[in-house]
Amino acid sequence: MADYPQILFKNRRPGETVLIDEFCKNGGYQGLKKALKSMTPSEVREAVKESGLRGRGGAGFSTGMKWSFFPADQPGDKYLVVNGDEMEPGTYKDKELILADPHQVIEGVIISAWALQVPEAYIFIRYAYEECTRNLERAIEEAKQAGYLGANILGSGYGLKIHLHRSAGRYILGEETSQLNGIEGVRATPRSKPPFPAVKGLFGKPTTVNNVETLACVPHILTGGSEWFKNLAQNSDGAGTKLFGLSGHLEITKCFELPVGITLREVLEIGGGMRGGKAFKACLPGGASTPYLTPGHLDVALDFDPLAEVGSRFGTAGVTVFDADTCMVGATLNLMRFFARESCGWCTPCRDGLVMVRWILEEIESGRGSRELIAMLKGQYKNIAGRSFCALAEGAMGPLEGLLKHFEDELEAHVTKGRCPFRS
């Protein structure tokens, strides 16, 4: 493996968590000191914007641009919400980050809250992440004791409260407005927009929602500079490093910090190549809600714009790999079972459409398929894509789009043979 810069994982050691003393010895909280002592909030916001940082939670929207919509100079109650829900299959980067280095996340939250002039922040953590929760609780308390968090941070006059909110579960809570409802204790369904959270969010007040990994990048942007952060990327116009969670049919399946813009071919090599020496068939490049890549995409740069150009998405960089023996109909069915189960039931395309897609794929996979059902599958894709209330069903159409685009021959083979051709 090449010697790639380790920024977010620089303190990472197997099975260990960095506490505050070691974190500070390795440069921790220097970004916070710089922000509070030598920069204005608007200068911090501008540095993040110039860095090219894009959201690491899946959508990839410019973080600085998102912050520009927030009324940072407006007095009154405002909130920062940190999305650590992470329930998408194949995505586990935030978990690895918090397990290794929770103070990095806390520092990013404090700097970002100060840049937005927010007095309270909520970290929304997935219910199953019990060890992550304990790490964050300890880090919050350590930061308070050291004067980095509380009523008068480093004597600046700025104060911040960080609340840790444990999720009750469900994938829909990863959608930002559903997450706000979850914190408020009401049914976790998406909200109609506009108004957007920056205008009317948590408890009816202006709110910005950012991903855990996104905010962990902020201290490094301040200490290293915006241009330095941009130049961490390779082979693309992107910026920074990215946490890639590898899973599936690779020899090595774990989370790596790699440059934005690295090619799929290089990522497969870092994962030790295909398990058992089998041929690469496909992968989900950015979590379960992204269209498949195939061998023809091995040299595509893994970044937001290059992947959009080839009909997929960077998403969370959860790279799930499938070998040549994989039935892509069965793989897609497995994903559809998840998405159909996790629908909140708020809108018809998601509530009923995903169940229909699941049923069609079950019929085809079990040998009861027909060409009429393949036509129905294509029709359901058109009925759902771009028509749901939030992005859940739209994301669910990602792997189905990839199946129809790259593996329609497998659908046909299931119908022709009257069974799954990958089963003996």
pLDDT at 3: 87
User: For residues 131 and 171, is the Cβ–Cβ distance under 8 A?
Assistant: no
Mean pLDDT of 268-280: 97
Residue 257, SS3 per DSSP: strand
Is 2's pLDDT higher than 80?
Answer: no
Mean pLDDT of 209-233: 97
Mean pLDDT of 142-156: 96
pTM of the model: 0.95
Write the Ramachandran bin of 54: left for phi over 0, alpha for psi from -120 to 50, otherwise beta: beta
pLDDT at 423: 87
Looking up tokens 């398990």 gives 275
CA dihedral 79, 82, 88, 91 (to 10 degrees): 160
The share of the chain scoring above pLDDT 90, in percent, equals 95
User: For residues 419 and 400, is the Cβ–Cβ distance under 8 A?
Assistant: no
Looking up tokens 């996104």 gives 214
Mean pLDDT of 200-210: 97
- 132/127 Cα distance (integer angstroms): 10
Nearest Cα neighbor of 261 from 219, 295, 231, 291 is 231
- 47/206 Cα distance (integer angstroms): 22
What is the DSSP secondary-structure string of 50-63?
HHT-B-TTSS--BH
Mean pLDDT of 57-86: 94
User: For residues 248 and 322, is the Cβ–Cβ distance under 8 A?
Assistant: yes
Is 168's pLDDT higher than 90?
Answer: no
Is 272's pLDDT higher than 80?
Answer: yes
Write out pLDDT tens, residues 363-399: 999 999 999 999 999 999 999 988 999 999 999 999 9
- 227/334 Cα distance (integer angstroms): 42
- 68/73 Cα distance (integer angstroms): 11
Write out pLDDT tens, residues 304-337: 999 999 999 999 999 999 999 999 999 999 999 9
pLDDT at 1: 57
